[in-house]
Every structure is written in structure tokens, then in C-alpha cells.
Amino acid sequence: MAPAPPPVRSKGVGGVRPRQASPRALAIAGGVAALVVIAIVLGVVLSRGGGTSGGGSVVSSSDISGLPPTGSATSSVALAGAADANALFAKIPQLGLVLGKKTAPVEMEMFIDVQCPICQAFEVNDLSTIVKQEIQNGKVQLHLQPWAFLGGQGSQSFSGRLGLIAASFQNKGYEYAKVLYDNQGTEESGWLTGKEMAAIAASVNGLEMHKWLVDVNSSAAKSIASDVDKLANAVKVNGTPTILVGRTGSQLHNVESAQEIALNRAPTLQETLHTIGAALKQG
């Protein structure tokens, strides 16, 4: 039996809404109906809170009420997968959104969306292999780029990534991302509320919740988010996940060929490892 083709990645607003990346979109017949559904979904998201990246608070003090002051994977409120998520990154240096040793000869840059189900599949099924085989041993340094485009401005892709960025201020963004993807809800369903973001944070060992609350609503977090959007535009990223690899300090290249990118398919673990291996040999 021939192997199943790689999943198609999310393309975001204005792009093709592929089957694997957005099952809900397949049920919508016609452009008018699509606009109506999007309007309804955005209305639900905004009414639930935590869906705006504008002037209001993304997470409120009431959202962290009842949670421990310091996150713990073993607490009674920890979410599924928290122990494994914390263990995976426990012995690897983190600095902001960068994972791995400064001396790593190869750099890997990964653009993700917190609502993207294909990003979730790569994180849950493949990233741990790269971490254990290439990052933990000092060969690769990973730069995470939390891009937001699903649902458009005001969606939970924009507000939800601020929780990850805020966790990175305590050098715990990768644990936060892993717990988030282990508990990801359906795209644009309104699942990533302030309370859910807080529950994710409370599942990360050593994360100071009050500091995280301040940071998630800060202009500093929003500034980093804006910088990621600008970078994605500058390097012409057109879907998530997108993975770029190259020698540290040199130009990075997409792990997919131009033909594969045109087909809007998601990068695979094999492609990523192959590109990392080729970059290592260049040294």
C-alpha cells in the first residue's frame, strides 16, 4: 500500500483552506456562506474573551484565580501531557524563543500558529525526535516564530500566541507550546480563552504566574508578536508550519522544494532531518 501523502498546511485568511488544516471550512458552500460563518465565529471568540489582541487584557486576574502561584506539571490543575512536555526541554538551554546551545552550527527556524492543527501534529509527533537527536547534543539551535494569521486580526491566533511569548520571557516558551499543542482545541472554535491560556501556564514547571499575567498583557509581548509577523512577510512565509534550516549565521532555506511549497503540503520529519544533515556536512 502506498504511504499516505503529507498533510496540507494551513494557509490562513485569503488562502486556500485545505482539508487537513481546516476541516470546518469544507462544510461551507460558497463564498457568502463562508463570510457569514467567519463573522459568527469571530463574534463568539470575542464574546468569550481572550480573543482580542487590541486594547483589552488578553488574560485577567480572574483567569489565574485558583491556580498555583508557580506552575507545576504535578499539580492537580496541570493539563494532559504536562509532565512529558516539561521533561523534554528540561536539560536544554532556552533564551526567549530560542532553544539550544549558542555554539550550535545549524539553525532551524519554525513558523507556527497556535491554532494550526498541522503545527500540532508536527509538535506532538516529530519535534521531540529533532530535540533529542539534533538539539540536545548541540548540533541545532531552534528559533520559534509564533506567527498569527488563522482567522484574521482579532482571532485567538493573535491573542493566544501572547501566552507563549510571555512564557518565553521566563525561558519556558517551549514547554508552554508543547502543553498547548497537547491540549489544542478545534481551530477558530473559541477554545483558547484566557482561562485556558492560564491553565497551560500553570502546567509549566517553575513558571511564575503573576509575572506571566503581567507579561501576557504587556506591550513587550505584542511588540515581539508584531516582529514575527514582519519577519514572516519579509521571508515570504505562506503557511504553517514552515521550517527553514541552514548554517548558523548564513541564509536559511525552506526544507521543502519550490514544487512542494506550491502544492501547499506540510514539511515532514524526514525532510527536516535530511536538510539538517546536509547543513551539518557543509561545515
Rounded mean pLDDT, 47-73:
77
- How far is the CA of 250 from the CAs of 116, 142, 274, in angstroms? 29, 14, 18
CATH 3.40.50.1100 for domain 23-56+93-173+218-281: no
The answer to whether residue 15 scores a pLDDT higher than 60 is no
Give the domain ranges of the chain: 23-56+93-173+218-281
- Binned at pLDDT 50, 70 and 90, residue 33 comes out as very low
pLDDT at 153: 84
Q: What is the pLDDT of residues 183-223, one digit of tens each?
A: 999 999 999 999 999 999 999 999 999 999 999 999 999 99
Nearest to 108 by CA among 118, 116, 120, 98: 98
What gap in Å lies between CA 111 and CA 131, rounded to an integer? 16
pLDDT at 127: 97
> What spatial distance separates the first Cα and last Cα of the chain, rounded to whole Å?
39
- How far is the CA of 93 from the CAs of 88, 165, 235, 245, 281, in angstroms? 12, 16, 27, 19, 24
Rounded mean pLDDT, 111-130:
97
230: Cβ–Cβ under 8 A, 6 or more apart, which residues? none
- Binned at pLDDT 50, 70 and 90, residue 22 comes out as very low
In percent, the amount of the chain with pLDDT more than 70 equals: 81
The answer to whether residue 108 scores a pLDDT higher than 60 is yes
pLDDT at 1: 52
Q: Which helix (H) or strand (E) holds 274?
A: helix 269-281
In percent, the amount of the chain with pLDDT more than 90 equals: 73
Q: pTM score, two decimals?
A: 0.84
Q: What is the pLDDT of residues 138-193, one digit of tens each?
A: 999 999 999 998 888 889 999 999 999 999 999 999 999 999 999 999 999 999 99
